[in-house]
Structure formats: structure tokens, C-alpha cells
Chains A and B, each alone.
Chain A
Amino acid sequence: MQLLVCGGTGCNDLQSEAILDNLRLELEANALENDIQVIKTGCFGLCKLGPIVKVMPDEIIYTKVNPDDAREIVTEHIMKGRKVERLLFTDPITKKTISKAGEMNVYKKQLRIVLRNCGVIDPENIEEAIAHDAYKALGKVLTEMSPEGAIKIIKDSGLRGRGGGGFSTGLKWEIAFKNKSDEKYVVCNADEGDPGAFMDRSVLEGDPHSVLEAMAICGYCIEAGKGLIYIRAEYPLAVARLKTAIKQAREYGLLGNNIMGTGFNFDIEIRYGAGAFVCGEETALIHSMEGLRGEPTVKPPFPAESGYRGKPTNVNNVETFACISPIILKGAEWFSSIGTQKSKGTKVFALAGKINNVGLIEVPMGTTLREVIFEIGGGIQYGKKFKAAQTGGPSGGCLTEKHLDLPLDFDNLIAAGSMMGSGGLIVMDEDDCMVSVAKYFLDFTVEESCGKCAPCRIGNKRLHELLEHITKGKGTMADLDRLRNMSLVIKDTSLCGLGQSSPNPVLSTLDNFHDEYVAHVTTKKCPAGKCRDLMEYFIISANCVGCTACARVCPVNAITGERKEPHLINPSICIKCGACMEKCKFDAIIIQ
């Protein structure tokens, strides 16, 4: 018998260590320490109900356990075999107590469709993929369906592009199908450029065949014979595994000529991107593949009309492709039963920032931000207060506390001033200055703008400069208006999605954290204490014993004072290095 104690950071903050200790003590007291193991585990994903103790092999889950409850668990459950009813989870809807993990709705919030085989199969062994039904959907499409029929399934499933735009995948295929041409192309966009987002990489590293199969299905549907995967050269492992997978698929007759004896020909090549963010935009991506400068062009014409080499081209993202085979095998209805009214299926998020369980998660569309951050993500690091979550990569917006119960889907995120993007989710806590956050994201877009259109090339630079100005305490209220106007014009006039969304971090922080901006420009204070130029080190004379330690460590001699007398910091000399504060043993130095 084992007692599993959640050691996830969320539970840990709620004294799970003490629970562990107490359980061990109780077992020792009853001389059970050799029969019963107490094990610290990773996060159960039940952070809201933590701390969690699970009794194995009974699979009984105790929630909201106190260190003091240890005795009862040992004496009642272990020794007498009686469940501790008061620690069992009560379903909020049915009001019934639930003891088995599998019966709990809150448990297993995640549903893996895209990541179904990631971490499960050996990606370099096609046999493992076949054992997990790879290429079964392709066989089904090739032998049982017409292109129109298969497209209808994808359309009916409600699948929308996971690369950011959220356009109906089935509709996209249909347009490409209807544009007749002797040559067409299927392109997989694996130019994952959002900082912190790596769902495409994980899929390609963990389950490359899911993408190859879906591309072949798409090829059949739009009548294309050639697939191209545009992948960042910075993903060497994904590239290597893709190459292996393509080679193996060809050997097995699952790519190439006469696939599965059906007469359908489809082959896939890999193209490398040089890591330009803008090349995730489909027209820029196509230009890059053609050997041209990676720059977008005006749409229309859309790639479905005139894409790679001027031929109809269907571009989908890795995650989108990874959804295809399950939809074909399990049906449009199954897929459309998951998610919200207009956003079907699941979405993979890359959790990053000040969240405990940094990593990849996959949840049904409509899962709330709160569930994602506080349950699956294990909450905020060091028990700090949640401040904002940035979704949609560098051009997304910041969601705040008031959005915590917002069901995450394409339309809700847009309405909240952010976007789904590729699924990056960066969590910020009370220590983050939102003006600096906006500046940080702008830094990225300024760097990654291709420079083709003026508003993105120059406008973003100007936005960044103005934010810099404000964080230095030189801004005015009028600058805030200018910031907003520039942001709106850049969004309204930029050529491609990059510029059309790059001011989102500015606009959403300006909306949601207006007071913070006002503080920067009026009282010249950074409420989060992050903007160095707005900080002031200050000695509380009541705490200062005049030990002179601070004055001795100050590199610019900004601190003066007699021995045993309270010292003073001259703010005009102080360079805000923080050395004094570190040195002070009496907590006499604070930041204002």
C-alpha cells in the first residue's frame, strides 16, 4: 500500500511537506513504516482542491488535506480500512462525494487529441505509430471517400486553423479544391515563431506521422501531389525525426507513388526557415520557400488561388494537421461535441512565465483561464498574486483577473482584446510592470518586423520608444493618447497579421492597467517596482542603526551619515544598483 502526496508547487505551498512528515510519523508510531510507503509526487492537476493525498492501490483521493489530518488517514483508512468521508471530494453539481479519481470531473481537465501520441510512441519507429492507428485515416479517405466527402467531414467538424487566424480548415481546403490547376501544393507551416510556444515542435518530435498522414489526406482532398513542410532550421531534432518519418513512410508505401495501392501519389519535402517570425505568415512563408525575401504580400490573392509557384496552395499549421486523422476516424460529430459553439476540439497551450507547471497542456476549447492556470498549471509561483496572462504570442493581448473565468476560445479571446495565436500563454504576477511587459513584447515585434510596410516598420519602433520614454518617467498624459492612436493606426493599416496585431499588448495593457500607465506618467512611480528609473532607494531612519555597511558598499558614494546615526541616500547620485539593500541587516532600506 502507498500514500501518494502531491508535491506540486501549488500543494507544496499549502504545507504538503508537513503532511508528508506527519504521515510518516503516524506510520512510524503505528509501526507501519515498513509496510506503507509515503511518496511525494508531481502535480495532480487538482490544485484548487489541494493538498491532495491519494491512497494506492485503492485510488482513493483525499482533498484539502491538513497536516493534522494525517493521523486520521493512517488510523482510519490504513488501519481500519474506512474512508475518511470528510476529506473526500464533493461534486459541486451532484453534491455526491467522490472518492475515485477517475470519477471526478475536475480531474483530467486535459484532453489530448493533438498530443495523443506524444511521449507515447517512439517517433523514429513507424511501427509504433501504425500500432497507434497512424495512416488508418488516410486509408479510409483514399478508399471510402471522395475529396468532397472528406472535406465535408473536416468542415462539419468545425476545425479552425490553429496557427492563429482561426479560419475554417474545411473551408480553406474547399477553396483550394475548387481552384483547378495541374499543380497544387499542401504546405505545413512549422515555422513556430512565438517566443515560448513549442507545441508544433513537440508534435513533430513526438508524433511526426500524424502530420505526414494529414498532409497526404489534405493532398487527396485538394488534389495536390506534393507536400512541403516549412520548418525552422532551429528545430534540428524535429527535422531529424521528420526526415526519418518521411523515409520510413516511403518505405512502407504510405507516401510516394500509389499509396496503399490506391493510385494516389503524394510525397513530402522539407524546406527550412531561417527563423524569421514573419515567415509564419503564409504569403511570407511561401515567398521564403520560393527563395525570395520572407515578406508578406497583400491578400487577396490568397494562397488557395495563387500560392507556391503561383499554384493553388493550402497552408495549415502543424497542430491543425494533427487534428485531422482523429476527425476522419471518429467523425465530425465527435470532434464538434468537444469545445464551444464556435470553437471546436482542443487547443494546446504552452504555459510559461510565473506559473508552477511550465509546459504543454491540451484542453478542450472553452476551458477557463482559471482552470488552465490554477488547476492544470498549478497556480502562480511562490504563491504570488496573479496579475495577467498574455495569450497569442508577442502580438496577443493581456488578460486579467476579470478574464479568469473566460472560456478560452477563438472569439472570446478576440473580444477580450487578445487572440488565440499559436497558443502561447505567459503568466505574470504582481511583480510585473505592465508597461514594461508591453515594451518587452514590442521589442520582439520591432526586431521581427520584415520592414515592408511603413506602419509596422516605423510605427512599432515609435511605440517602443514611447514606452521606453514612459518607463523612464519622462512620459506625459498626452503620450498615453498618442500611444493609443499610434497603436490603433498600426493595427488598422499594417500589411500583414504581424503589424495588425503587434500593438495588442500595448492596447490591452492600456485598457486593463490604465492606472499603472497613469502612475508612470503622473507620479512617476512604477507600482510594480520594476522600472529602474522610477525606483528610489530609501532608508527608514527608525530601522537604521548607523552601522555604515550600506555606505561602504555603495559604489557611487550616494549614502552619507555619521556612525550610529541614521544614514541618508542621495537620490540624485544613487544608480539604483541595490547593493545597499542587500547589505543591510536591519531591513532599513526599502524601494519606494
Chain B
Amino acid sequence: METIKSPADLEKSKAAILARMHGKEKTRIRVHMGTSGLASGAKEILEFLTLELQKRSIDADIIRAGDLGYCFAEPTIEVKRVGEDPLVFGNVDKQKADEIIEKYIKNGEYVDGILPVNYRTI
């Protein structure tokens, strides 16, 4: 990566990054791995998802992110299927993760444990 040499440079690189991100249309999974998430087992879920998606030949991006603030429902993951709004699932254990892969990621079927987005953001 070359250093950013001006604000215009920054804009260019933002555009490039966005293009790269949106270029690959596939399911994107965020595992919320702040301290709350990690303390509730988010790392295990990340490993499980990485392994299982590969095993089940599902092409998806898995991203580590910080916490959403849903401490009461950690670990939480967010799944964004192509062309759909993202959904957040709470209290995800391996069984739930398996269910999410099988039902939601594969077929778009909802599963219990959805956390409705109850905030606006800027």
C-alpha cells in the first residue's frame, strides 16, 4: 500500500476499497469480537464458522468486528446475504451457528434469536 499523500488520495483509496468490497458479491458474516463477545465465546464461533463454511463449501467473508453493545445476548453475529439487509443473531453457540448456516445462510430461512436493529446510525 502506498501512503496517502492528500485528502484526494484518501477519497480515491476509499473508492477503491469500496469497489473491492462490493465487487465480490457473497455472503458476509461479522463476528462481534470485543471483550464482551470474546468472553462469551465469540472466538469459538469464529473458528467454527470458518471451518464449517469451508467444509460445506459456502463462499462467504468472515469479518472480526467490535461489539455492538448487545452484552445481554453475546456472542452475536451479523449475517448479510447478497442483496438483503443484514440480520443479527444473538446467543450464538455452535448449535445455533450450525442452524444459521443450514437455514439462513443456505436458504434464507429465519431462525430464532434474531436481534432486531433498534438504533439509527449516522
CB proximity of B52 to chain A, nearest CB, Å? 20
Are A201 and B34 in touch, CB under 8 angstroms?
yes
Say whether chain B's binding surface is mostly helix, strand, loop, or mixed: mixed
Are A237 and B34 in touch, CB under 8 angstroms?
yes
- B35 / chain A contacts, CB cutoff of 8 Å: 198, 201, 205, 235, 237-238
Whether, in the assembled complex, B67 has its beta carbon less than 8 Å from a beta carbon of chain A, the answer is: yes
CA distance A4 to B87 in the complex (A): 12
Q: Specify which of A122, A201, A326 is in contact with B122 (CB 8 Å cutoff).
A: A326
CB proximity of A219 to chain B, nearest CB, Å? 17
CA distance A128 to B30 in the complex (A): 13
Are B5 and A261 in touch, CB under 8 angstroms?
yes
Are A358 and B71 in touch, CB under 8 angstroms?
yes
Whether, in the assembled complex, A143 has its beta carbon less than 8 Å from a beta carbon of chain B, the answer is: yes
Interface string of A232-276 (1 = CB under 8 A from B): 000101100000000000011110000011100000000000000
A37 (CB) vs chain B CBs: closest residue: B110
Are A111 and B121 in touch, CB under 8 angstroms?
yes
B61 (CB) vs chain A CBs: closest residue: A122
Are B69 and A361 in touch, CB under 8 angstroms?
yes
| A206-B65 in contact given A42-B70, A131-B21, A135-B10 (Cβ < 8 Å) | yes
| A376-B114 in contact given A119-B67, A124-B64 (Cβ < 8 Å) | no
A42 (CB) vs chain B CBs: closest residue: B115
Contact residues, A89-120 vs B (CB, 8 A): 107-113, 115-120
CA distance A201 to B37 in the complex (A): 13
Are B4 and A252 in touch, CB under 8 angstroms?
yes
- A142 / chain B contacts, CB cutoff of 8 Å: 7
Are A111 and B120 in touch, CB under 8 angstroms?
yes
Q: Specify which of A120, A131, A235, A360 is in contact with B71 (CB 8 Å cutoff).
A: A360
Interface string of B16-36 (1 = CB under 8 A from A): 011001000000001010111
Are A260 and B34 in touch, CB under 8 angstroms?
no
CA distance A123 to B21 in the complex (A): 16
Are B122 and A43 in touch, CB under 8 angstroms?
no
CB proximity of B25 to chain A, nearest CB, Å? 16
Are A41 and B116 in touch, CB under 8 angstroms?
yes
A-B contact count (CB 8 A): 181
CA distance A411 to B24 in the complex (A): 50
- A42 / chain B contacts, CB cutoff of 8 Å: 70, 73, 90, 113-116
Are B7 and A118 in touch, CB under 8 angstroms?
no
B114 (CB) vs chain A CBs: closest residue: A41
B119 (CB) vs chain A CBs: closest residue: A110
| A115-B17 in contact given A44-B118, A139-B7 (Cβ < 8 Å) | no
Are A54 and B67 in touch, CB under 8 angstroms?
no
Whether, in the assembled complex, A56 has its beta carbon less than 8 Å from a beta carbon of chain B, the answer is: yes
Are B113 and A261 in touch, CB under 8 angstroms?
no
A1 (CB) vs chain B CBs: closest residue: B110
B70 (CB) vs chain A CBs: closest residue: A359
Are B18 and A131 in touch, CB under 8 angstroms?
yes
- B18 / chain A contacts, CB cutoff of 8 Å: 131
- B115 / chain A contacts, CB cutoff of 8 Å: 41-43
| A37-B122 in contact given A119-B67, A360-B67 (Cβ < 8 Å) | no
Are B5 and A253 in touch, CB under 8 angstroms?
yes
Are B6 and A127 in touch, CB under 8 angstroms?
no
CA distance A128 to B66 in the complex (A): 12
B11 (CB) vs chain A CBs: closest residue: A136
Are A4 and B72 in touch, CB under 8 angstroms?
no
Whether, in the assembled complex, A313 has its beta carbon less than 8 Å from a beta carbon of chain B, the answer is: no
Are B122 and A357 in touch, CB under 8 angstroms?
no
Are A39 and B7 in touch, CB under 8 angstroms?
no
Whether, in the assembled complex, B54 has its beta carbon less than 8 Å from a beta carbon of chain A, the answer is: no
A256 (CB) vs chain B CBs: closest residue: B3
CA distance A130 to B4 in the complex (A): 11
Are B116 and A45 in touch, CB under 8 angstroms?
yes
| A206-B116 in contact given A119-B30, A252-B1, A260-B4 (Cβ < 8 Å) | no
Are A131 and B14 in touch, CB under 8 angstroms?
yes
- A139 / chain B contacts, CB cutoff of 8 Å: 6-7, 10
CA distance A3 to B90 in the complex (A): 18
Whether, in the assembled complex, A436 has its beta carbon less than 8 Å from a beta carbon of chain B, the answer is: no
CA distance A360 to B44 in the complex (A): 23
CA distance A203 to B14 in the complex (A): 22
| A253-B119 in contact given A359-B70, A359-B71 (Cβ < 8 Å) | no
Contact residues, A14-41 vs B (CB, 8 A): 37, 39-41
CA distance A128 to B14 in the complex (A): 9
CB proximity of B74 to chain A, nearest CB, Å? 8
Q: Specify which of A45, A111, A207, A359 is in contact with B66 (CB 8 Å cutoff).
A: A207
Whether, in the assembled complex, A168 has its beta carbon less than 8 Å from a beta carbon of chain B, the answer is: no
- A140 / chain B contacts, CB cutoff of 8 Å: 7
Are A108 and B78 in touch, CB under 8 angstroms?
no
- Which residues on B are within 8 Å of A, measured CB to CB? 1, 3-7, 9-11, 13-14, 17-18, 21, 30, 32, 34-36, 38, 63-73, 76, 78, 90, 109-122
**Closest A-B pairs by Cβ, 6 of them:** A206-B66, A139-B7, A253-B3, A45-B118, A360-B69, A110-B119
